[in-house]
Every structure is written in structure tokens, then in C-alpha cells.
Structure 1
Amino acid sequence: MSIFDDDRPKQPSAHEIGSDLSVLSVDELKNRVALLQGEISRLEQEIAAKTSGRKAAEGLFRF
């Protein structure tokens, strides 16, 4: 560990849309892609859960 490590800009732990990607290494970019793919999956699961709940409610209240 160098004494100059503190001078290096800190990378955010989460991805910010529109952030400067030129300062990231290939490994950091791959980690961000994995992070975003995980978040997309989580969002899709929530959409599916809400869609199925709505369909169940609609079926219950149909005459």
C-alpha cells in the first residue's frame, strides 16, 4: 500500500447513470454490469409480483 493511495479518487460503490466511465478499469466496468444486471432482475421480479397480484384482484372483483 502506497502513501499516495489516499490521493486517488474514490470510486462510488453504486453506479450512477451518466457517470464518467473513462476512469474505470475493465474489472470495475464488469462489476458495474453485474450490479446493474442484478438490479434489473430484482426490478423484473417486483413487476411480476405486482402484475400477478393485480390479476388476482381483478379476478376476485369481476362479476
Structure 2
Amino acid sequence: MFEFDQYLGFLAFLTILTIGFWLMMFLLLFVVPYWLGGNLLEIWKERREAKRAKRLES
């Protein structure tokens, strides 16, 4: 079967793999939508301000 150091190496590999998986899930489910939503909101505000400034010029 496994020697003790092989068992520890396998556990370390599984731990790193699991941490990477949950980090990827966190980034995809929370960070990326937050980033995209914030950028879209800023673009919308800039366009609204540009329309408002153009309307005030005329």
C-alpha cells in the first residue's frame, strides 16, 4: 500500500487541489460578477453624465 510519506504527499496534493477548486469557485461566483457589475454601472453613469452635459450645453 502507501508508505507514510507517500500518504502525506497525497494528502498535501488533495489539500492544494481542494483549496484551488474553492478559490476558483469564489472568484467565479462572487468576484467576477461584482467586478463586471461595477464596471457596467460606471459606464452607465458616465454615459448619463455625458447626455446631461450635452443637454445643458444646448
- CA shift, 1:58, in A, is 0.2
Between 1 and 2, higher relative CO (CA 8 Å, sep ≥ 6) is seen in 1
- Relative to the length of structure 2, the TM-score reads 0.61
- RMSD between aligned residues: 1.5
Query: Larger % of helix: which?
Result: 2
Q: Which runs of 4+ in 1 moved over 4 A?
A: none
Question: Which has the greater radius of gyration?
Answer: 2
Q: Which whole-Å CA distance do the structure 2 matches of 1:62 and 1:46 have between them?
A: 24
How many correspondences in the alignment? 40
- Relative to the length of structure 1, the TM-score reads 0.57
- CA shift, 1:27, in A, is 1.4
